[in-house]
Amino acid sequence: MWLDLSHMDKKEYLLMAEELVFGHQNPDTDAIVAAIAFAHLQQQRGYDTEAVALGEVNEETAYALDHFNHQAPRVITRASVEVKKVMLVDHNEPQQSVSDIADVKVTHVIDHHRIMGFDTSEPLYYRAEPVGCTSTILWELYNEENVTIPADIAGLMLSAIISDTLLFKSPTTTPLDQQAVKSLAKIANVDYETYGLEMLKAGTDLSSKSEQELIDLDAKSFDMSGHSVRVAQINTVDLDDVLARQTALKTAIQAEISEQHYDLFVLIITNILNSDSEAVVLGSDQGKAAFEKAFNKQLVNDRANLPGVVSRKKQVVPQLTEAY
Amino acid sequence: MWLDLSHMDKKEYLLMAEELVFGHQNPDTDAIVAAIAFAHLQQQRGYDTEAVALGEVNEETAYALDHFNHQAPRVITRASVEVKKVMLVDHNEPQQSVSDIADVKVTHVIDHHRIMGFDTSEPLYYRAEPVGCTSTILWELYNEENVTIPADIAGLMLSAIISDTLLFKSPTTTPLDQQAVKSLAKIANVDYETYGLEMLKAGTDLSSKSEQELIDLDAKSFDMSGHSVRVAQINTVDLDDVLARQTALKTAIQAEISEQHYDLFVLIITNILNSDSEAVVLGSDQGKAAFEKAFNKQLVNDRANLPGVVSRKKQVVPQLTEAY
């Protein structure tokens, strides 16, 4: 492979890290923070790493970065133009990763999701645990390696755990996540409950966003028995606020389905205060039937209420995968 | 799923563990030992586990078990008739696992191989490191969890590491493998160099084995771009001894190719004293061409010498995968 570096000056070229570290597309707080925290840990262990992102940070993440006075990672769209090796955090499925993931070697993965379609030709370092957040695993790694967590990174890590677990309300929460937040709060010197709710609320200011942006804010694609399924989630403190925009949301979803050929698009709108969700579901008849089977619910006007459902990973994706 | 327990008496039923722990088919010393060591570790952590095996132990493993006075795990051919959940050690690829792996849930994987075709519907505990042996990772886990390694299990673990690294001669060997063996040797109270060579030699007594048994002793199947490839390895201290049986070995390989529809069968005969190998290669024209491309060697009478090649994982499988 030939590297086109003509767009860089010599100083930039010399500053290039050997390995990039990044989370999934449409990054949430954990995808951004886990990249920052793992890149830092690996630097202490002698690796030449840089944390980058596969998209701009969302408002919740921006709030956390601002609060702990840390820069957002730069955004990349391709990795192989810069490096030969990468480290993945908070994801492993190729369709959630950088577009040219097939052209680079993955040397490390730190993740807390199912494993799907992730194939390598050589052994690698892979650390996954069924906990609420990648940053919880990173907290363990820092402790195992006896590496000090800087106060700003500790603040970001607890932000990621609070974000992924909705302040411990999500069923994905484990005792380890809670233990990590309490330990990190001491390092970051923050009242995690007060701060956490403020951060979550900062992420629910949706008024400035277009419908197109809303359905792409926290969306992931999944391959289910050969069908392409998109599951998006919006957090809010006022469900009616979002549902008032239902018609325009459906138009935006329908446009994405046509463009990306999704078999099914599920938009989960979650009230973070009472942990209930409303689903807007569009797609093929087969896809909608899979949804109805998965949740044992009839769709009415392409909608279904999902009381107590807050976790895409634990309460939506396995059920849909099973139904397909 | 309905469990047919009619073949068991009540006592057996009550003794059944909740989760089975096992290594790959055609188990080598690491596959057997890692199951024993991980099942024990998990018991200390509160899991109800039993180590089992997907085949009878080989002569090297029998030597180690006998030396450290530990029973061989019982052999199973199916898991779902006994349990709903399993833990995999020393492998992840489905075709190397128990025949009904699709019918059980994998909750833990401890491995040091590439990841291929391993898909789950839910998050799990996955720990892989690019080190020489699964038992090295288990040694780390025991240390991280502050669990004491019993002397007999320590002896078995160092046996597995010596087996996988050919007493540190394989290029898969890492400093961590050497560190683990030295630490385990103290616990097991054994001179690992003297013992290790004796153990390796015990595994090379091939005279009692049929050709059919020899090509199945340490053999694994791989999917390479849709082609089924079998790579078997025989360790010896006398290459000529094995090559004297070449004609009968080829007949046995050809029979397996016809029966299992392999595109390629590569038998690696490794001299463990000087770390050189001889390959016997049969299969389709395309398969043989892939081999020749992978090693930049012409096959002469279906054979090629591979100086310095001792590791299937590092020096054979990636090269063949790339060529396909």
Write the DSSP assignment of A271-318 as a string of letters: ETTTTEEEEEEEE-HHHHHHHHHHHT---BTTEEEETT---HHHHTHH
Average pLDDT over residues B171-199: 97
Instruction: Output the pLDDT for position B205.
Output: 83
What is the torsion angle, in degrees rounded to the nearest 10, for the CA atoms of residue A82, residue A88, residue A93 and residue A96?
Answer: -60
Q: Is pLDDT of A4 > 70?
A: no
Q: How far apart are CA B166 and CA B136, in angstroms?
A: 14
pLDDT at B7 > cutoff 60: no
How many residues does the structure list for chain B? 324
The A-side interface with B (CB below 8 A) comprises: 112-130, 144, 313-314, 317-318, 321-322
Domains of chain B: 10-201 (3.90.1640.10), 211-323 (3.10.310.20)
What tokens does B145 get?
A: 């969890």
B182 CB neighbour count, 10 Å cutoff: 11
Determine what percent of chain B is predicted with pLDDT higher than 70.
95
Confidence of residue A2 (pLDDT cuts 50, 70, 90): very low
| List of chain B residues whose C-beta atoms are within 8 Å of the C-beta of residue A115 | 115, 118-120, 124, 126
pLDDT (average), residues B131-138: 98
Rounded to whole angstroms, how far apart are CA atoms A235 and A197?
12
In this predicted structure, the answer to whether residue A1 has a pLDDT above a threshold of 50 is no
Cβ distance of B117 and A122 shorter than 8 Å: no
Report residue B273 as tokens. Answer: 């004293």
Highest mean pLDDT among A32-41, A164-173, B267-276: A32-41
Q: Whole-angstrom Cα distance, residue A145 to residue A41?
A: 9
Q: Residue A301, class by beta-carbon neighbours within 10 Å (0-12 exposed, 13-18 middle, 19+ buried)?
A: exposed
CB contact under 8 A, B128 and A125: yes
Does position A259 have pLDDT exceeding 70, yes or no? yes
pLDDT digits (tens, 9 = 90+) for A46-85: 999 999 999 999 999 999 999 999 999 999 999 999 999 9
Tokens at residue A297, please? Answer: 């619910």
CA angle in degrees (0–180, nearest 5) for B94-A291-B83: 35
Please report residues of B whose CB lies closer than 8 A to that of A321. 121
**Chain A residues within 8 A of B127 when measuring between CB atoms:** 126-128
* N- to C-terminal Cα separation, chain A: 39
Whether residue A123 and residue B116 make contact (CB cut-off 8 A), yes or no, is no
Distance (Å) from the alpha carbon of A106 to chain B's nearest alpha carbon: 11
Antiparallel, parallel or unpaired: β B227-236 and A85-89: unpaired
| pLDDT above 80 for A131 | yes
Q: Which two tokens stand for residue A116?
A: 């799907």
Most B CBs within 10 Å, among A101, A111, A119, to test the B interface: A119
Decide which of A20 and A201 is more confident: A20
**Chain A partners within 8 Å of B120 (Cβ):** 114-116
**Contact check, Cβ <8 Å, A127/B126:** yes
Above 0.90 for ipTM, yes or no?
no
Angle (CA) A195-A200-A205 rounded to 5° is 125
Segment A262-282, tens digit of pLDDT:
999 999 999 988 889 999 999
Q: Which of A269, A151, A293 is nearest to A206 (CA)?
A: A269
B128 interaction partners in chain A (CB closer than 8 Å): 123-127
Q: Using 50, 70 and 90 to split pLDDT, how confident is the model at B2?
A: very low
pLDDT for B1 equals 39
Contacts of B194 (CB under 8 A, 6+ apart): none
What count of CB pairs under 8 Å joins A to B? 77
Question: Does pLDDT of B229 surpass 90?
Answer: yes
Distance between B117 CA and the closest CA of chain A, angstroms: 7
pLDDT in tens, A85-107: 999 999 999 999 999 999 999 99
d(CA B236, CA A134): 45
A120 closest CB neighbour out of B112, B115, B127: B115
* Chain B closest-CA separation from residue A249 CA (Å): 29
Q: Which of B109, B126, B240, B218 is nearest to B164 (CA)?
A: B218
Q: What is the pLDDT of residue B168?
A: 95
Does residue A12 register a pLDDT over 80? Answer: no
Interface test with B, best of A121, A231, A321, A322 (most B CBs within 10 A): A121
Cα A136 to Cα A158: distance, rounded to the nearest angstrom? 8
A182-194 confidence digits (pLDDT tens):
999 999 999 999 9
From B275, B219, B214, B276, select the one nearest B245 (Cα to Cα).
B214
Q: Are B76 and B20 in contact (CB under 8 A)?
A: yes
Which residue in chain A is spatially nearest to B318 when comparing CA positions?
A121
Q: If you average pLDDT over residues A176-181, what whole number do you get?
A: 98
Beta partners for residue A281, in sequence order: A266
CB contact under 8 A, A123 and B114: yes
Work out the mean pLDDT of chain A and round it to a whole number: 93
Beta bridge partners of A125: A108
Average pLDDT over residues B6-29: 78
Which residues of chain B lie closer than 8 angstroms to A129, CB-CB? 123, 125
B123 SS3 class: coil
